[in-house]
Structure 1
């Protein structure tokens, strides 16, 4: 009987362990899915150019090093194809930093994760521009120019073409070739905007740290404010003292004259 109870207990323990292991696997899978859920990629066949704006609160002492770390990671293609477009830093009491990169979609979340390490993502905005019409217009323009180029080349090879017409055709071919080159550049730029994403990261010090800095700044400036106030009072006294002396003198003379008249009036009465 005891052996039977022991077997049942062992079986229950084994089932419990398997259940816990299964839950652990599901949680790990869920965590992994949550980690990749933030990545946004253009749907198949769509022409969407994604842009991300992230505001990060980070300790003032870490901002400069963090901007450099992101720059190095991007230039080393640590998270995939990446190009640094803009880097900025500002010191002082409230240092700030910014960096803008164009990166492959799979690298968006990792580079934002690097930017936010040890800090807080205060805000994040993602938006996309639909380039479908621009892509279609560029392709149509390029195709039209290429067809015209082919027709003019065929006409140029005609033996009956006149010299004046030949000069006009040559000039028009040059214009078409320039147009085709420009259309190719626009198509490449549009393709780059679709295949990569623009990420702008702004770094600021936390509000609490800014408040402490403001208090410290106010304490440091209190001596200067006191000195300035005392200097203002001294200047005011120095400026008003002559006027006060003259006013006192005229008042004293006026009082003496008034008293003398009073005495004369009393004697006469």
Structure 2
């Protein structure tokens, strides 16, 4: 946030700011708690807590694709729970697996967890919580100050009258303040959405439900490719071995020649000594 000379002028008459803005835009009405499920009541009792769940499910490898589609279909149908698919990935290769990342209201997350729990064995489940009270309070306080500053700038613009130079600078500052207000409004909306909804990360894998014949069939299916890779590696290795073999042969042949000459020279020397 920029604070030029106009801000200094406005702050001279600015009364002490209270914390009334902190409870305005991010508070949950008490009447909305009535008739809610335990998950929604939990979120209402903790209006500044953002929850994120992680679920690992062991599913038969032939059913990973169907469970993956079922979760997406359930999310599409949960419009009342504001369910949104944030990320998805499906791997149907040698090791089938899938991951999904969803966002929904607490009731929608509970429905998805119930749906997933009957699709396979739960191998891991966890929940993390993030307290967003401080950033929510900071943004609300900054937004209240910006609104007050904009009001004072508008008063200054009226007082400026026909002073063109002052009007230009005031309008420029008003445009900057408006941009700051819109940015903070967007951030507050993101935080509000984060505490009113929850994140669910789903990991589908076939750890204990993998077919006995699948590794064998995969090995047979990959036999020709592995054979070609082995032959190519052998040929590549041979290309490296041949030059070294030639060099070693030449070295051994030369060393043998030198050894033979040295041996014959010593023999002649010994014979000469015997003759003397």
Q: TM-score range by the shorter chain?
A: 0.5 to 0.7
Q: 1:93 and 2:94 equivalent?
A: yes
Ranges in structure 2 where 5+ consecutive residues have no aligned partner: 1-36, 257-276
TM-score scaled by structure 1?
0.66
Give the secondary structure class of the aligned counterpart of 2:42. Answer: coil
Partners of 2:234 and 2:153 lie apart in 1 by 86
TM-aligned CA distance change 1:154 to 1:83, over 3 Å: same
Between 1:167-176 and 1:66-75, the stretch displaced more is 66-75
* Equivalent residues of 2:53, 2:200 under 8 A apart: yes
Q: How far off its partner does 1:202 sit?
A: 0.8
Q: How does 1:145-164 map to 2 (within 5 A)?
A: 145-158=146-159, 160=161, 162-164=163-165
Give the secondary structure class of the aligned counterpart of 1:129. Answer: strand
The CA RMSD over aligned residues, in Å, is 3.9
Q: How far off its partner does 1:214 sit?
A: 3.3
TM-aligned CA distance change 1:112 to 1:167, over 3 Å: same
Partners of 1:166 and 1:79 lie apart in 2 by 49
For 2:108, the equivalent position in structure 1 comes to 107
Partners of 1:37 and 1:214 lie apart in 2 by 45
Partners of 1:95 and 1:174 lie apart in 2 by 54
Larger Rg, first or second structure (1 or 2): 1
Q: 1:188 and 2:194 equivalent?
A: no
Give the secondary structure class of the aligned counterpart of 2:159. Answer: coil
For 2:45, the equivalent position in structure 1 comes to 44
TM-score scaled by structure 2?
0.64
Segments of 4+ moved more than 6 angstroms: 36-40
Ranges in structure 1 where 5+ consecutive residues have no aligned partner: 1-35, 251-269
Between 1:75-84 and 1:120-129, the stretch displaced more is 75-84
For 2:204, the equivalent position in structure 1 comes to 203
Pick the structure with more helix per residue.
1
For 1:138, the equivalent position in structure 2 comes to 139
Partners of 2:142 and 2:111 lie apart in 1 by 38
* Equivalent residues of 1:97, 1:203 under 8 A apart: yes
For 1:84, the equivalent position in structure 2 comes to 85
Q: How does 1:168-247 map to 2 (within 5 A)?
A: 168-207=169-208, 209=210, 213-218=214-219, 228=230
* Equivalent residues of 1:105, 1:196 under 8 A apart: yes
* Equivalent residues of 1:73, 1:79 under 8 A apart: no
